[in-house]
Structure 1
Amino acid sequence: MYLRCLTGDRPHQWLRWLPWAEYIYNTAFQSALKTTPFQLVYGREPPSIRSYEPGETRVAAVAKTMAERDEMLTDARARLEQAQDVYKRFYNKHHRDVHYSVGDWV
């Protein structure tokens, strides 16, 4: 799902951004795991990545790449949240909360 969120309007650039998509997925909280995949595997919080502040570097190519990276990460996170909302609405539409007590017949 996260690759679709990443490559929605950039189908020819998916390979360039694949490591960042993997980072986003592995550092996102998973409700089934009650943690992130990274923390489950390594037993510690994932490393944080600083966002790029314009003017931090004098090299134009680095500045451009960092700005594109931040834009892509922001966009991918927004798309993942949007997809999660869609799945949540679908689930809740067909879900009914049922509670059973001892002695109830199924």
Structure 2
Amino acid sequence: MSSAYHPETDGQTEVVNRCLESYLRCFASEQPRNWAHWVHWEEFWYNTTFHVTTGTTPFETVYGRQPPNLTRFLSNETKVAAVALELSERDEALNQLKAHLARAQAQMKKYADKRRRDVQFE
């Protein structure tokens, strides 16, 4: 990251910022006023994504082990209402992310296919 008075950064910072921006855009497109609600998911996503430069995830680099898996919440799995609500919201967020990613992939495919043409080789 850079400050307002020292905007010099290496190219990697801009790459990370673009990744984080597009991730937030996927979530916040339906609820733009609630973008801050998704920041912790953005952090989890970034820290559990494989990075080519290190050959591992940032989580594994820091903690020396694989990040924990997210399991689906089954209703009535917990008796604490706050925990149940948090887990339900997490599952909703994951489902929303999958839907947004599928829509983004379909749009990218549409744009890629727009310039593609079928070539027959003999």
| TM-score of Structure 1 vs Structure 2, range by shorter chain | 0.5 to 0.7
Within 5 A, what are the aligned runs for 1:8-47?
8-24=29-45, 37-38=49-50, 40=52, 41=54, 42=56, 47=68
3-state SS in 2 of match to 1:38: coil
Q: Bigger relative contact order, structure 1 or 2, given CA contacts below 8 A and separation 6+?
A: 1
Question: Could you tell me which residue of structure 2 aligns to residue 104 of structure 1?
Answer: none
How does the TM-score come out when normalised to structure 1? Answer: 0.66
> What is the percent sequence identity of the aligned residues?
40
Question: Could you tell me which residue of structure 2 aligns to residue 64 of structure 1?
Answer: 85
Deviation at 1:75, TM superposition (A): 0.7
Aligned partners of 1:77 and 1:26: how far apart in 2?
A: 18
1:85 matched to 2:106? The reply is yes
State the Cα RMSD in Å.
2.7
How does the TM-score come out when normalised to structure 2? Answer: 0.59
Unaligned runs of 5+ in 2: 1-21, 61-65
Question: Could you tell me which residue of structure 2 aligns to residue 4 of structure 1?
Answer: 25
Aligned partners of 1:90 and 1:69: how far apart in 2?
A: 31
Runs of 4+ in structure 1 over 6 Å off = none
